[in-house]
Amino acid sequence: MYPEAYIQYLIQFHGYRDFFECHEILEEHWKEKEVRNRDKYWVGLIQVAVGLYHHRRENWRGARKTFQNARSIIQENETSLQQLGLDTSRLIQLIDERLSDLLLHKGYTDMNLPITDTALIEQCRQECEANQVTWLADSDLDDPYIIHRHILRDRTSVTEERLHQKLLREQKKLSRS
């Protein structure tokens, strides 16, 4: 019923609390579609995870900006997100609460997505259990890998892809001249 990438996102979000991995999973799923067929609501869910990642690292500005973008996308795509078993009104409320906390530089607390589909919750809970991970676990705030994963990862492929895209844009500009 739901895409496997979405289920894995939920498991990472509520079990491992690895928000960087949430981003990776849904971004890959989103990019599998042709550009004109990409559903923007996936970006909203990616941004919720990235906002939490930044908040946990006390990147106040980055978290606020990311949550503001997520809120806008979620509000524009409420029906699609409801079809993913989410209470979008509650999710927007949770984001608004998070934005208020960020303005006050309140410390990080975990957020749980308001999932309305009990069968989906049970499926995710069982997969977590099979992997010896606790569903709705607290974040391990002492784990530098989880907290600073984007800094610790190998960025070679990302850097090469950005350089490649920059060269393509420059070539395109030159060919128009």
Query: Each residue of 145-175: pLDDT tens digit?
Result: 566 455 444 446 656 666 767 787 788 888 8
* Mutual angle of helices 41-56 and 88-103, in 10-degree steps: 30
Write out the two tokens for 80.
Answer: 């699609």
Q: How far apart are CA 161 and CA 50, in angstroms?
A: 21
Q: How far apart are CA 36 and CA 17, in angstroms?
A: 31
Average pLDDT over residues 140-147: 68
DSSP code string of 67-133: HHHHHHHHHHTHHHHHTTTB-HHHHHHHHHHHHHHHHTTPPP------B--HHHHHHHHHHHHHTT-
Q: How far apart are CA 34 and CA 86, in angstroms?
A: 25
pTM above 0.85, yes or no: no
Nearest CA to 46 out of 75, 83, 73 is that of 73
Which pLDDT value is given to residue 165?
73
Cα separations in angstroms, 159 against 3, 42, 46: 29, 24, 21
Which pLDDT value is given to residue 159?
61
